[in-house]
Structure 1
Amino acid sequence: MYTLRPATEADYDFLYALHCAAIREYVEPIWGWHEEWQAEYFRRKFNPNGRRVIEVEGHDAGVLVIEERPDELYLALIELLPGYQGRGIGTMIVTSLLDQAQNRGMPVTLDVLETNQPARRLYERLGFRLVGQKEHRQRMLRLPENEVENKA
């Protein structure tokens, strides 16, 4: 249903448009939305390395960034265009990450904006739990299943 490909410099316009479409409604209530600032910040921070474009039926639909850290896998970024949200794509992608982490015996962590309740509900449904908050970002954790059983 989806494929991943490495992002390139040529994906810049798509990735910026995706960023705006995917998170504006969650950023605006917290900090407001300043287009010039967003564009400049995105331009300064843009690096296609490590980013994978999510394709659905041959169309660019989102972006995924997973950081492999020594003791965890960190879901640094997952964004889908609104037209691809609510179709199970995010669930499949995160479930695949959880399977990889389970096979390696590693936890998965992520941060989600407190205003992004749809994402938080998805993560909770997939077994993540809230473990902390810093400013407007909530840290969530999903332990490997054997560790979940040991902690119960």
Structure 2
Amino acid sequence: MRIWTRQATKADFDFLYALHVAAMRPSIEATWGWHEPWQRAYFARKWDPAPRRIIRVDGVDAGVLVLRWEPDALYLSLIELLPAFQGRGVGTAVLQSLIARAAARGLPVTLHVLKANAAARRFYARHGFAVVADEHVRYKMQRMP
């Protein structure tokens, strides 16, 4: 399996919105409810392809990744995979690569996860992340180098 990323473009909007719905709707719905017109409008308002990297698996668009290097951590702002690519080692490969890049700089990896997304919390915990803050509807998690 070959995994790499490419820069997102404006042409990726529909793919990325469909990905967001497929990957996040259950957790968002459990947290705030889901109103499709509002969700699509909110996504469009926040849409900016610049920070997004499309995760590709064997030549197929499979997910999205957004990172932010901060002075004291690598912040994993977003990682979403289409359900067909979940449970196949794609997320693990991407996350392990990020952990290694941050560790090479002596930095932890930090992220936020919705409390309703128990599968994601378990995934991050398996990779050494611990909850460091309870922030109402989400947890802040961190993995030290």
**Structure 2: gaps spanning 5 or more residues:** none
Alpha-carbon separation, structure 2, partners of 1:66 and 1:8: 16
TM-score, with structure 2 as normaliser: 0.97
Per-residue CA distance 1:35-57 (angstroms, 9 max, x = gap): 01100000000000111000111
- Partner residue of 2:116? 115
Letter in 1 for 2:140: R
Offset, 1:110: 0.2
Alpha-carbon separation, structure 1, partners of 2:30 and 2:11: 31
**Structure 1: gaps spanning 5 or more residues:** 145-152
RMSD across aligned positions (CA)? 0.7
Secondary structure of 2:142's aligned partner? strand
- Partner residue of 1:97? 98
Q: Structure 1 segments of 4 or more deviating over 4 A?
A: none
Query: How many equivalent residue pairs?
Result: 144
Secondary structure of 1:140's aligned partner? strand
Alpha-carbon separation, structure 2, partners of 1:98 and 1:39: 32
Find out whether 1:68 has 2:69 as its counterpart: yes
Per-residue CA distance 1:63-94 (angstroms, 9 max, x = gap): 00011111110000000001110111001101
Offset, 1:107: 0.8
Secondary structure of 2:87's aligned partner? coil
Alpha-carbon separation, structure 1, partners of 2:116 and 2:31: 8
Offset, 1:132: 0.6
Alpha-carbon separation, structure 2, partners of 1:20 and 1:114: 17
- Partner residue of 2:27? 26
Secondary structure of 1:47's aligned partner? coil
Alpha-carbon separation, structure 2, partners of 1:50 and 1:28: 25
- Partner residue of 1:135? 136
Alpha-carbon separation, structure 1, partners of 2:39 and 2:136: 19
Percent identity reads: 56
- Partner residue of 1:49? 50
Alpha-carbon separation, structure 1, partners of 2:3 and 2:37: 32
Alpha-carbon separation, structure 2, partners of 1:118 and 1:133: 17
Offset, 1:112: 0.3
Secondary structure of 2:43's aligned partner? helix
